[in-house]
Structure 1
Amino acid sequence: MEELAIFSRLIKKHKYTLIIIPIFTIIITFFLVRNLPDSYISQAQISTGIVDETQQTTFLTNSDSQKANQVTQEFSNLIEIMKMKKILDQVSYLLIIHDLTAEKPFRELSSTISKLSAGERKTIIETFKTKYAKTEGLNLWDKKQIELYDLLRSMNYDTDELKGKLRVYRQGDSDFINIEFDSESPELSAFVVNNLSQEFINYYTQLVKANQKNATTFLGKLVQEKKEAMDKKIDSLRSYKIRNRVLNLQEQSSQLYAQILVYTDRIQQVKEGIASKSGALNEIDRKFSPKERSYLESTLTKVNQGIIGTKQDLKALHDLYIESGFDPKYQESIDSLKGILSGQINRYTDQYIYNPLVSKQELIQQKLNLDIQLDMSRYSLGLIERQLDYLNEQFDKLVPHEAVVQSMERDVDVTSREYLDILQKFNQSNMEYGLSIKLKLVQTAMPGLAQPSKKMLLVILSGIISFVFCVFVIFVLYYIDNSVKSPKILANKTESEVLGYVNALNNSVIDLKEIWTRSNLNPEETEFRNHIRSIRFELDKEVKDKTIVITSVNRSEGKTLLALNLAFAWNMTNKKVLLIDSNFSHGDITEKIKPAAYLEDYLTGKVGNEVFKGQPLEVLGNYGDDTSLLEIAAENQIKQKIEALKGVFDIIIIETVELTKLNQATEWLLFSSNVIGVFEADRNISEAKKQYTDYLNGLGTQFKGWVLNKLPKEYISKV
């Protein structure tokens, strides 16, 4: 808080500076800006179609929403393209061509252009038109084109000048880009904005269309390459299948496997039938006696010979049935033929088989039928097993082809997907190429009204800025100022106690007698006297041996004035005071008071205590020979003399030489245990002074503290 108070007092001290400089700045600024031309801003608006769903093409947009940062990046790219030198150069050419050809140019022709002849102007116009038509920039390595650039600069139509007054930005989160230009002419502003917008749209359209055309051409070639690769893979697969008779490998293998399962089941069924029929025949045979079996076998031989043709036909049908994979259409023929065979068996048994087996006629018929069925089953089993082996052999042949076909089909699938992917991109690129660019100039710039004048704002800002600058300068001065401005700062810098401070007096001549005897003093003098009294009070508590040595770091810091005033202050308390001027280099007390007795005479014994006339305030001067105390008398003799003076006076005040003459100042410290230092306010404690303040601190309790002298009035109010 103290630092803030000091800074505020410093501001107050320089208040006239803070008033005069801003006023002076305001006056100068006013005269500088009063003739500035008015400002006109024209604005155009371009719709981009980036976030406007009404301009989006459904089949060309992604299903996912575009990310915000992607949209922002697209807008940034468009804005930067609009600020490109290539685009601004086109506008510069149009401006210079207009001013060179129009009856009313936007700006008064510069002196450089005015000096040109009609022929030179015509050549320049044609050159700029050619540059514009070819969308070429100026080559600044070419001396002639540098002259053209200088013409643009002379009219403030160069790229840098245009860019400085151009503002391009996105309108919030909308789909629109705003283009603004500020100039001294409403027609010029509108011309720049409209032509810049149109040049940007034309350039961007050409750029996009060229890229789309290149992309479409490239994708078209790529589609053809992918199609040829796909067709090649398909032809290879087809040729392999035809060559190896595996047109539909999966279906073929499935059919073979199904047939294998069917034949396997049939084998199992036939084997079960053979077992059951064999068991039935064995049971029938056990029912005949050996004699009956002998007769029966001879009879059955004759029957079998009679039905052998039918059995052959039945075997042939079974072969067809098995080879067809058990086609149901053969089952009816087999059943019919079995009926015929059964009829033949009955007829032959009736013809050949008679006594003695008439009673077992039915068993004989069963045996004949079972024999035929068993014979047919055994024959069928062999045929089915051969057919199953054939199917397994065919199935095994398909396995190697399966791996090759799968690999080739996988290659076909990959090339097909690549082809379809590229084809989709080609179609999309082709469609985009056929669509119009989404950039549209939705708002054409018109000559606008003059903008509110900024002249007054500039004047006010100049005053504010100059005021702030002055405050900043004062703050810098305050910040780098290490001078002592308060007792607290002195205590912090010296790390010692401060007994008090004395305010500065503006009087050219100070009458101490009036200050200490008169009652009607001015406020400064009254305050001065009160501060001396405060210091006297502090010293009364500290001083025990009646002697006080007053010193300072440098000369003219006010120790003489302090010594005189302390002498008067103690004298006012009815104490007998002796003031000794021991400053042999500059005896200011001796010079001012002209004492009757001198220190040298008293210490050498030339005079004694009788020299004092019994006055409450006595003074011992010096002859000013730039000597030292111990050169005048021996240490013991000086101590005796000081003790003698203590018997006469209540307080002895000794002013010594400044500490820069340390050898002279320290001699008095041998004879007094009370030392006070005087420090003048508004002075720095440099490194050189620091050694003396450290010396006083090293005295310990012998050093009683500092008195801050000559403190300015502006620093006292907050102390």
Structure 2
Amino acid sequence: MEFANFLKVLWKHKNLLIIVPLVAIIISYFLVKNLADKYVSTSQIATGIIDESRHLLDKETNSAAQAQQINQSFSNLIEIMKLKKLVNQVSYQLILHDLTSPTPFKPYSKLFLSMNAGAKKHAIELFSGKFKRMEAMDFYNKDENGLNDLLRTMKYDERSLREDIQINRDEDSDFITVGYESPNPQLSAFVVNVLCREFISYYTHTIKQNETDAVTFLAKLLIEKRDALNKKTAQLQDYKIRNGVLNLEEQSKAIYDQIVAYGDRKQQAQKDVASYNGALANIDNKFDPKDRGYIEATLNKYNTAAVGTQDQLHQLTDLYVRSNFAPQYKVQIDSLTRQLTQQLNLTSDKYLTNPLTGKDALVAQKLSLEVTRDLAKYSILAIDKSLNDLNARFNRLVPFDATVKTYNFELDIASKEYLEVLTKYNETNLKSTFSIKLRQVDYATPDAAEPSKKMLLIIISGVGMFVVCVVFLFVLYFLDETIKQPAELVIRTHLPSLGYLNTVTGGTLDLRKLWDVEHREKMKLFKELIRSLRFEIDQELKGEKVLAITSLDNHEGKTVLAIALSYSYAMINKKVLLIDGNFTNPTITATAQPRLYIEDYFKNNPDNYEGFSGATTVLGNHGGDVTLLEVSDENFIRSRFNELKTKYDIIIIETPALTNMNKSKEWMLFANKVIGVFEANKGIKKTQKANLEFLRAMNGKFAGWVLNKASIPED
């Protein structure tokens, strides 16, 4: 529905939709008629970013590059090419060409023509210096600002050039295409070639400088890390030499092994002592005290020799233990052991025990066990002394180990840092040798003119203006809150509608002329609409006779509707009384010039009014600031209406607008039904919402709206 209404709006403004685009097409035609042809020159730059033939040594690194990184590389190159300093280089070359060449790329501007020979020479010197140093123009320098104006007048400035320069990557290839569009083919080719040359030169110099700086920095850092590594190594070596530390791990392991071995020997010696003590105890139990005295007296000489040998054996055993059981001491111990055995055997052979006893063998065995036991006891003491010495040596290694580990940790860090810098240095050095080298593989040349776009521009201008007009009308339609159809009035007011009336043009209203002119189409439609309203009103009145006509605001069309309805009822042989109840604006009174007035009829109480005769009677008013109840009281007025109902078939009252709420209400007291007139193409004001609430509160007494001056086409 909304779309259909919008289409009606477009159809209503069809002249606008035709004339405005047509004017735009005509204007565009004259604007583009003398438009110069456009020439485009292009060039290609090979970047080498994804060219496998240029990444032989670093192929593994390049193969791992992701598509996103490649796109970033191309984006960086394109943005570098768009730098202001590079476009300025092109500007300087262009102006220098026109200053020195007899065939300029463009017609000279007024400022250019105003320059004398000295000014041109100065301009050439300044632009040449700026070009060599890649400097921008200083706008705060009066001289340079004047020459910058020269660039702008010739359209050689950076902003003007940038508008027609196109730089993009050719899909997923290794090439960047640079293009420029201008009215001169030589100019287009010149701009492209200069921009490519300056870009390659600038990029190559920048990359080489960055790579050189990186390699130099890494080389210096590598020397520093190497010196730090050598310093840490020297510190560790010096500490080991000063403290006699060769290999702490091996030394600590050897000492620990000796401690374990001595522990085992100590346990064995303790076992031997215990076993020898037990054997000696058993032998002692077998000797009588007397026999023991006899034996010791007889064997004293030989025992003294055995004791001396036994002392020597103790000394050798001590040396043997201290030397960590050296083999040479073992030979001497074995020799003394054999000598001691011979001495003990000699005592057994030379001297006999008491003939009364047979324990001589036990005596010799006891002496041998005592010697062996004493050796075992002494070896335990020597082993304990060695163990204490070994434990002391092992404990002294602990602080050495902590310090050495600290040195080793620092040395390990220095070594890793050195290796990382060395790796980075080698990679950077390799990349600097095989870095990306840009090449202009396709130089720009003057080409033929581009196909003319004049007709396309003309069509676009026409279509564009048509779209603008449609959008403009849509905005107006969207923002339009006026009511144009009865259905919209019903939705906005939540009150019923009886119908609508079309617009009636003309001068002074005349009932007969308004109804009798049959040859005018609008009047025919108006008459049919009045007939339709008359039928709807009859259905609402249901035999009642008093109808009040009001409106939300003044000049909505109440008078036209009241007169038309009166004449319509008269045409069906109804006796009609038309009352002009609008004291403020008595239009009906001024039009009909009646002989009867409200003030006279409802106030003076005449017995007979000859004026109440005929099919249609008009009851006017004298106007002024007066209300109905100020003319007479309600009961008397109601009695008068009852009399009028007996004389007329229909009584139509034009009341004031609801803006004069009290005056309208007084007339509505005596009406059976009330209808409202609303002029089309108007909106409902916020101040009128209270009046709508009043109409909705009439509990069915309000019959409905009549939309006046509606522009609804006839089906």
- TM superposition score category, shorter chain reference: 0.7 to 0.9
3-state SS, counterpart of residue 485 of structure 1: coil
Structure 1 position 621, deviation (Å): 4.6
Q: 1:686 to 1:279 in 2, by over 3 A?
A: closer
Q: Does 1:536 align with 2:553?
A: no
Match of 1:276 in 2: 275
**Which amino acid is 1:33 matched to?**
V
469-478 vs 626-635, greater mean Cα deviation: 626-635
Q: 1:458 to 1:107 in 2, by over 3 A?
A: same
After TM superposition, list the pairs within 5 Å mapping 1:487-506 onto structure 2: 487-505=486-504
Q: 1:374 to 1:651 in 2, by over 3 A?
A: same
Match of 1:322 in 2: 321
* Contact 1:599–1:620 under 8 Å retained in 2: no
162-171 vs 686-695, greater mean Cα deviation: 686-695
Q: 1:476 to 1:238 in 2, by over 3 A?
A: same
After TM superposition, list the pairs within 5 Å mapping 1:402-421 onto structure 2: 402-421=401-420
3-state SS, counterpart of residue 396 of structure 2: helix
Q: 1:611 to 1:139 in 2, by over 3 A?
A: closer
Q: 1:303 to 1:440 in 2, by over 3 A?
A: farther
Q: 1:660 to 1:296 in 2, by over 3 A?
A: closer
**Which amino acid is 1:608 matched to?**
N
Cα distance in structure 1, aligned partners of 2:356 and 2:95: 139
Structure 1 position 15, deviation (Å): 0.3
Match of 2:442 in 1: 444
Cα distance in structure 1, aligned partners of 2:550 and 2:382: 144
Cα distance in structure 1, aligned partners of 2:171 and 2:310: 101
Q: 1:642 to 1:59 in 2, by over 3 A?
A: closer
3-state SS, counterpart of residue 654 of structure 1: strand
Cα distance in structure 2, aligned partners of 1:622 and 1:90: 93
Cα distance in structure 1, aligned partners of 2:282 and 2:208: 99
* Contact 1:583–1:624 under 8 Å retained in 2: no
Cα distance in structure 2, aligned partners of 1:386 and 1:627: 142
* Contact 2:87–2:195 under 8 Å retained in 1: yes
687-696 vs 208-217, greater mean Cα deviation: 687-696
Cα distance in structure 2, aligned partners of 1:33 and 1:261: 109
Match of 1:712 in 2: 711
3-state SS, counterpart of residue 140 of structure 2: coil
Structure 1 position 633, deviation (Å): 5.8
Cα distance in structure 1, aligned partners of 2:148 and 2:513: 85
Match of 2:180 in 1: 181
Q: 1:440 to 1:530 in 2, by over 3 A?
A: same
Match of 1:608 in 2: 608
256-265 vs 571-580, greater mean Cα deviation: 571-580
Q: 1:280 to 1:103 in 2, by over 3 A?
A: farther
Cα distance in structure 1, aligned partners of 2:46 and 2:361: 107
Structure 1 position 420, deviation (Å): 3.8
75-84 vs 507-516, greater mean Cα deviation: 507-516
Q: 1:375 to 1:673 in 2, by over 3 A?
A: same
* Contact 1:503–1:527 under 8 Å retained in 2: yes
Match of 1:127 in 2: 126
**Which amino acid is 1:675 matched to?**
V
Unmatched 5+ stretches in structure 1:
none
Q: Does 1:620 align with 2:609?
A: no
* Contact 1:47–1:438 under 8 Å retained in 2: no
After TM superposition, list the pairs within 5 Å mapping 1:355-370 onto structure 2: 366-367=365-366, 369-370=368-369
Cα distance in structure 2, aligned partners of 1:218 and 1:529: 102
Match of 1:151 in 2: 150
* Contact 2:550–2:657 under 8 Å retained in 1: yes
Cα distance in structure 1, aligned partners of 2:8 and 2:509: 27
Q: 1:314 to 1:622 in 2, by over 3 A?
A: closer
Cα distance in structure 2, aligned partners of 1:195 and 1:645: 103
Q: 1:638 to 1:363 in 2, by over 3 A?
A: closer
Structure 1 position 623, deviation (Å): 7.0
Show CA shifts across 1:207-245 (max 9, x none).
Answer: 333334334444444444444444444444333333333
**Which amino acid is 1:530 matched to?**
E
Cα distance in structure 1, aligned partners of 2:72 and 2:532: 76
* Contact 1:92–1:159 under 8 Å retained in 2: yes
Q: 1:330 to 1:460 in 2, by over 3 A?
A: farther
With normalisation by structure 1, the TM-score equals 0.84
Structure 1 position 35, deviation (Å): 2.8
3-state SS, counterpart of residue 710 of structure 1: strand
Match of 1:28 in 2: 27
Match of 1:192 in 2: 191
* Contact 1:46–1:439 under 8 Å retained in 2: no
3-state SS, counterpart of residue 325 of structure 2: coil
Q: 1:591 to 1:245 in 2, by over 3 A?
A: closer
3-state SS, counterpart of residue 179 of structure 2: strand
Q: 1:662 to 1:346 in 2, by over 3 A?
A: closer
205-214 vs 84-93, greater mean Cα deviation: 205-214
Match of 1:378 in 2: 377
Q: Does 1:580 align with 2:582?
A: no
Cα distance in structure 2, aligned partners of 1:345 and 1:582: 171
Cα distance in structure 1, aligned partners of 2:360 and 2:94: 132
* Contact 1:306–1:348 under 8 Å retained in 2: no
580-589 vs 103-112, greater mean Cα deviation: 580-589
After TM superposition, list the pairs within 5 Å mapping 1:510-549 onto structure 2: 524-543=522-541, 545-549=544-548
Q: 1:251 to 1:512 in 2, by over 3 A?
A: same
3-state SS, counterpart of residue 706 of structure 1: strand
Match of 2:671 in 1: 672
Q: Does 1:162 align with 2:161?
A: yes
Structure 1 position 565, deviation (Å): 2.7
**Which amino acid is 2:236 matched to?**
L
Structure 1 position 412, deviation (Å): 3.5
**Which amino acid is 2:115 matched to?**
L
After TM superposition, list the pairs within 5 Å mapping 1:32-71 onto structure 2: 32-48=31-47
Q: 1:600 to 1:244 in 2, by over 3 A?
A: closer
Q: Does 1:246 align with 2:249?
A: no
Q: 1:59 to 1:639 in 2, by over 3 A?
A: closer
* Contact 2:139–2:145 under 8 Å retained in 1: yes
Cα distance in structure 1, aligned partners of 2:514 and 2:693: 35
3-state SS, counterpart of residue 209 of structure 2: helix
3-state SS, counterpart of residue 490 of structure 1: helix
Q: 1:567 to 1:403 in 2, by over 3 A?
A: same
Structure 1 position 80, deviation (Å): 2.8
Show CA shifts across 1:409-437 (max 9, x none).
Answer: 4333344444444444444444444x243
Cα distance in structure 2, aligned partners of 1:94 and 1:358: 140
Match of 1:483 in 2: 482
Cα distance in structure 1, aligned partners of 2:490 and 2:301: 155
Q: 1:309 to 1:555 in 2, by over 3 A?
A: closer
* Contact 1:51–1:175 under 8 Å retained in 2: yes
3-state SS, counterpart of residue 325 of structure 1: coil
Match of 1:87 in 2: 86
Match of 1:643 in 2: 642
Q: 1:302 to 1:42 in 2, by over 3 A?
A: farther
Cα distance in structure 2, aligned partners of 1:142 and 1:131: 14
3-state SS, counterpart of residue 469 of structure 1: helix
With normalisation by structure 2, the TM-score equals 0.85
3-state SS, counterpart of residue 141 of structure 1: coil
**Which amino acid is 1:28 matched to?**
I
* Contact 1:292–1:357 under 8 Å retained in 2: no
How many residues align structurally? 711
Q: 1:644 to 1:410 in 2, by over 3 A?
A: same
Cα distance in structure 1, aligned partners of 2:352 and 2:61: 95
Structure 1 position 593, deviation (Å): 5.4
**Which amino acid is 1:546 matched to?**
K
Show CA shifts across 1:293-323 (max 9, x none).
Answer: 5565466555556667876775565445323
3-state SS, counterpart of residue 549 of structure 1: strand
Show CA shifts across 1:180-231 (max 9, x none).
Answer: 3333344433433333233233323333333343344444444444444444
Unmatched 5+ stretches in structure 2:
none
**Which amino acid is 1:540 matched to?**
D
Q: 1:687 to 1:319 in 2, by over 3 A?
A: closer
